Chain A
Amino acid sequence: MIEEPIDCATCQEQVHEYLHREVSEDLAAVITAHVANCDHCEEIYDSEDKLNQVIQQACQTTTPEEIIDKIRKHIAELG
């Protein structure tokens, strides 16, 4: 499956696409192999992944409750 290794720069360019599963399976495999063996790239991948988690946790409920209430009220009025 793993065709050829990639260099660090190419690997790092793909970090967002990799974490969002927007790369092909082949490329994902190549990146995975590289990251597993490269501390520097691993750190960057970890860090971006962590930032994603932090953002996800912090912004989980960003629609204010009063807006949701308004929306609910309008839905109820649809009849």
Chain B
Amino acid sequence: MQFQLSEEQKMVQKMVRDFATKEVAKGLAERDEHEVFSRELTNQMGELGLMGICFPEEYGGADGDVLSYILAIEELSKVDDGLGITLSASVSLCAWPIFAYGNDAQKKKYLLDLVEGTKLGAFGLTEPNAGTDAASQQTVAVLEGDHYVLNGSKIFITNAGEAETYIVFAMTDKSKGTKGISAFIVEKDTPGFTFGKKEHKLGINTSITMELIFQDVKVPKENMLGKEGDGFKIAMSTLDGGRIGVAAQALGIAQAALDHAVKYSKERTQFGKPIAVNQAIGFMLADMATKVDAARLLIYRAAWLKDQGQPYSKEAAMAKMYASDIAMEVTVDAVQIFGGYGYTREYPVERLMRNAKITQIYEGTNQVQRMVISGAVLK
């Protein structure tokens, strides 16, 4: 068994760490406070090749592995996990399904730009009445000649408004249930495709979340991803990969909270000594460090399985569920260690605690992850 990153993985990790600490960290508190999505940083990620880490060179990628990509999300998320999820949504939820299910023409037209980062991607599955019950899609697509006409709406869409390319799911045959759902590639600026209000969220305020609205949107027939009725299958397999990305986001948050807590507990003096010498603090740090490490091993294993071409659905669900649960616990503990200071916006741990919560909810709630895992265990 190999527990060491390769030279290449270590170099990518260091490169992204340098980018995160030098460029992303600048002005982060202000961006969080004023809910600012930075297109500039997003474009810079594209220029540096972060959108193309795990895609083949023929599509403009760096031909690296999934684990290198996961390391990149982890490093970004240690500094700004809002940017981490921006990357993950574009790569895992938009570029990947086009890579996995798209035909040559679709790859040429859409994948190249996403991989090279000149365009940003998004994924629209969730609807007001179709959350965990994703099969209850109310968005419909009706074939009319050489195009489909889309009507409906999608909510809580990461990168919405900013992304140029969207993977959108819609019912093409209601009578068939999940087998009646199809996936489409929809371009921004298509007539009838508009955006609703910007969501004001508890956390991840440096990422952008909006509603997608489709009113008689004509999507060319050739923009259907896979075959008619493949939508649900495409959505589920895409989310399997996305879960490793969200897990890496949660890991980055948890690691950052641990790092801050360790540093602070060595500096903060009460009763004439650093608070770290109290076992009450030391034991908390020990538990936090163990949880973070366990999450990391689950996540790297899931990424490794994907790299090996082996099934990873259960392992991705385990990684996402565990990493997000411990991210919540570790950030709450970090705030506790910081005490009153931790509750203020003068210190970064309250932001980490606010941001951790979403990782337990999106890409399938952790209850859904337990359904996936128990389903696999009981098979």
Task: Specify whether A and B are partners.
Answer: no
